Chains A and B, each alone.
Chain A
Amino acid sequence: MNDFVVSVNSSKLNIKVINDNELTVDDEDIKYELHQVCDHSFILKLNNKVFELTSEKLNSDLFKVLVQGYQSEVTVRTALQQKAFKLLESSAGIHHHHINVKAPMPGLILKINKSIGDKVELGDTIMILEAMKMENDLKSPASGIITELKVTEGMPVEKNTLLFSIE
């Protein structure tokens, strides 16, 4: 059945796609029409409003959607997949979160603010990457301890070069 639990940012919606023209969102009935214009461009009519959307499919469940100037990542799971995901999430606390942070673009490491063993908070600036004529603060994606520092000040890096790890 096309019964989905859809997550976007912190919102969760229950969406049932009934057929090519009807769906429900949290039990609200909506008439729709979807047309594909070209590779990534779509026209979606919901009741009496028409929207233009740009979409990139990241994997079978994850879509990057741009509509009305707003971009978001949307996860679509069936009810069964959602149940399994919830089970996985609740057990994750047992394991250590090991996070590897990679360079978002090629550039030069200007300054490193932390050392191995430092305790950092979510959002702390760990290092500064110089790219596109500007300085970019690379911030910590989580709170934890720096376990690895793979680069040094003055080092040039490629996109996706491993920079540092946090646990």
Chain B
Amino acid sequence: MFKKILIANRGEIAVRVIRACRELGIKSAAVYSDADKTTLHTRLADESYYIGNSPASDSYLNKEKIIKLAKEIQADAVHPGYGFFSENADFIKTLEKNKITFIGPSSKSVSLMGSKTEARKLMSKHNVPIVPGTTEAIKNVNDGVRISEEIGYPVLLKAAAGGGGKGMRKISSKDEFESAFEATKREAQKAFANDDIYIEKYIENPRHIEVQVFGDKLGNYTHLFERECSIQRRHQKIIEEAPSSFVDEITREKITTAAINTAKACGYYNAGTVEFLMDSNKNFYFLEMNTRLQVEHPVTELITGLDLVKEQIAVAAGNQLSFKQSDLKINGHAIECRIYAEDPLNNFLPSTGNIINYFAPSGPGVRVDSGFDLGSEITVYYDPLISKLVCWADNRQNAIDRMLRALSEYVIGGLITNISFLKNIFSHPLFREGKFDINFLSDEFMKNISGLDESNNIREIEKISAIFAAILKSKSSINNLRPQKIDSVNQWQEQMYE
């Protein structure tokens, strides 16, 4: 087993990995940039190392610095978290060359699944249904138009080196295709250093259903059931659940089998997630595979009782999976919501600042995975995720009500967060009934969002805020005992006629 693991990440996922290391008796080494000097992961790790300036390229995304540090401190393994180097085959290969174990899949699996066109080709050879479309990059506009007409509009133009919902454009006609083709290639080149694009049929109102898979280096494959991740904004997930209230036993059997076939097709070991789109008839289509641990892994942990990070470490060390497929059962229902530093009433503009007050909820069935607390600085250099609030209960309705209870207790002062926005989603009848798809937040809900605050409750809260401010002012004016003079009124009048 490893003696020391370097965690090449930050925020809540770094905290998550440090916790698993602590419980396994493995030394944890953290890295931090200027912006993260006082954050939680630096305090919880056994060793903390300054890695560079705030921009990720100077710090968390600086391969040379990270690997140099790993060697210096004699880390025998590196956990990449998610994002940053987690799906970078080159990083994995460099670690291997330096005899440091990467806690994740092989560079081969990562490369295979990293190209979305290669992955689609592979899936079509292994009995895994894919979204109708091309498995090669589109060579020119004419080919693209011909293929689009075969598939039928609307279609999606996607970056082959993209993923995570980035680098996609919906096209509804030939004219639109012609004008979008070059622009999409340019954007892909800029974002992913690769301008290959391909076409997929645009599936109307699909759900995003993904399956957690786990393999080991001894050739064992398991699935840990599915997750429902349809509540998204601009393709960024906001709420995830396990299991999906839409998936029945028969569909579950089919989709988890497809996911295992996917893992086998690329010789996968360690934790991974196979993402699918599911239409209203429960037909599902392979979207992509994420060859890493995902943000939303806690909901799977809560319904299965497993610790996925400890399992990742054990598998990376060469151990067999600690469980068999037949051991696994779905227990209850878990929901996670992502607490973001952003302003839902101002087009979700990211909010930055210092956390001046912090109180996280707890009690039965409530779990908070946070990377920040009092005194932490939320900056523009990284994504605005503050924490994940995860609730478990015996059924979906109770989990939702528990989530509302937990959200009402959560206090984060000093920035604007999406906590109120989340409360609105969990109170929404369609969400509660499980009637939604990936367009839930873009139509029905967003249209009414400004109207959501017009309630009696807001009047009450305004009254409390007003009373509080008045008391504060009265306390400060006791110290400034200058009586109001007639002169001060004249000053106002003078300013008027400037």
Partner of A105, one of B352, B472, B475: B352
B492 touches A88 (CB 8 A): yes
Q: Are A8 and B462 in contact (CB under 8 A)?
A: yes
Question: CB < 8 Å: which of B410, B467, B472, B495 contacts A69?
Answer: B410
Question: Is B465 an interface position by the 8 A CB rule?
Answer: yes
Binds A, one of B66-74, B113-121, B378-386: B378-386
- B139: chain A residues at CB < 8 Å are none
Interface residues of B in 374-415 (CB under 8 A from A): 380-384, 407-408, 410-411, 413-414
By beta carbon, the residue of chain A nearest B485 is A80
Contacts of B449 in A (CB 8 A): none
Query: Which of A67, A107, A137 gathers most chain B CB within 10 Å?
Result: A67
CA gap between A30 and B227 in the complex, in Å: 49
Which of A113-121, A126-134, A144-152 is the contact stretch? A126-134
| Bitwise interface map of B from 414 to 434 toward A, beta carbon under 8 Å scored 1, else 0 | 101001100100000000000
B414 touching A56 by the CB < 8 A rule?
A: yes
Q: Which of B349, B408, B414, B464 contacts A44 (CB 8 A)?
A: B464
Tell me if B468 and A55 are in contact (CB < 8 A): yes
A59 to chain B, nearest CB (A): 11
| A76 interface residue per 8 A CB criterion | yes
Q: Which residues in chain A, 10-45, are within 8 Å of chain B measured between CB atoms?
A: 11, 13, 15, 17, 23, 25, 30, 32, 34, 39-42, 44
Give every chain B residue within 8 A of A72 (Cβ-Cβ).
461-462, 465
Contact partner, A74, options B380, B466, B493, B496, Cβ 8 Å: B466
Contact A60 B476 (CB under 8 A): yes
Interface centre among A60, A85, A91, A132 (most CB of B within 10 A): A132
- Among B382, B416, B461, B475, which residue has its beta carbon within 8 angstroms of that of A67? B461
Measured CB to CB, the closest approach of chain B to A17, in angstroms, equals: 4
Contact A44 B468 (CB under 8 A): yes
Q: Which B residues are in CB contact (< 8 Å) with A46?
A: 464, 467
A88 partner, pick from B382, B420, B472, B496, beta carbons under 8 A: B496
**Interface residues on chain A, size class:** 35 or more
A54-B356, A70-B420 given; A4·B470 CB < 8 A: yes
Chain B at the A interface: mostly helix, strand, loop or mixed? helix
Q: Which single residue of chain B is at the shortest CB-CB distance from A17? A: B474
Q: Give the CA-CA distance A18 to B202 in the complex, in Å.
A: 65
A54 pairs with B464, CB closer than 8 A: no
CB-based contact B476/A13 at 8 Å: no
Q: Are the CB atoms of A70 and B470 closer together than 8 Å?
A: no
Q: Does B469 contact A (CB under 8 A)?
A: yes
Residues of A within 8 A of B43 (CB): none
Q: B347 to A65, Cβ gap below 8 A?
A: no
**Would B492 and A65 count as touching, CB distance under 8 A?**
no
For B464, list chain A residues within 8 Å (CB): 44, 46, 51, 53, 67-68
A23–B469 CA distance with the chains assembled, in angstroms? 12
Contact between B380 and A105, CB atoms less than 8 A apart: yes
Assembled-state Cα–Cα distance A34/B469 (Å): 11
Residue of B nearest to A51 (CB): B464
Is A54 a contact of B414 with CB atoms below 8 Å? yes
Tell me whether B471 and A23 are in contact (CB under 8 A).
Answer: yes
B469 touches A74 (CB 8 A): yes
**Residues A84 and B492 in contact, CB atoms below 8 Å apart:** yes
For residue A4, which residue of chain B has the nearest CB? B470
Name the distance in Å between B8's Cβ and chain A's nearest Cβ: 18
Q: What B residues does A44 contact at CB under 8 A? A: 464, 467-468, 471
How would residues 467 to 497 of chain B score, 1 for a CB under 8 Å from any chain A CB and 0 otherwise? 1111111111100000010001100110111
Are B470's CB and A6's CB within 8 A? Answer: yes
B364 to chain A, nearest CB (A): 21
Give Cα distance in the complex from A22 to B87, angstroms. 61
A and B contact pairs by CB, cutoff 8 A, 28 listed: A6-B466, A17-B470, A30-B467, A32-B471, A40-B357, A41-B356, A46-B464, A54-B411, A54-B414, A55-B468, A55-B469, A60-B473, A63-B469, A70-B420, A72-B462, A74-B466, A76-B470, A76-B472, A83-B489, A84-B492, A87-B493, A105-B352, A106-B380, A131-B350, A132-B350, A132-B384, A136-B350, A137-B347
Q: Write the residues of chain B forming the contact surface with A, with a CB cutoff of 8 angstroms.
A: 234, 347, 349-350, 352, 356-357, 359, 380-384, 407-408, 410-411, 413-414, 416, 419-420, 423, 458-459, 461-477, 484, 488-489, 492-493, 495-497
Given contacts A17-B471, A131-B350, 15 further A-B pairs with CB under 8 A are A2-B477, A11-B463, A51-B464, A55-B468, A67-B464, A68-B408, A69-B419, A69-B420, A104-B349, A105-B352, A132-B383, A132-B384, A134-B234, A136-B350, A137-B347
7 nearest A-B pairs in the assembled complex, by CB-CB distance: A54-B413, A84-B492, A17-B474, A74-B469, A54-B357, A2-B474, A15-B470
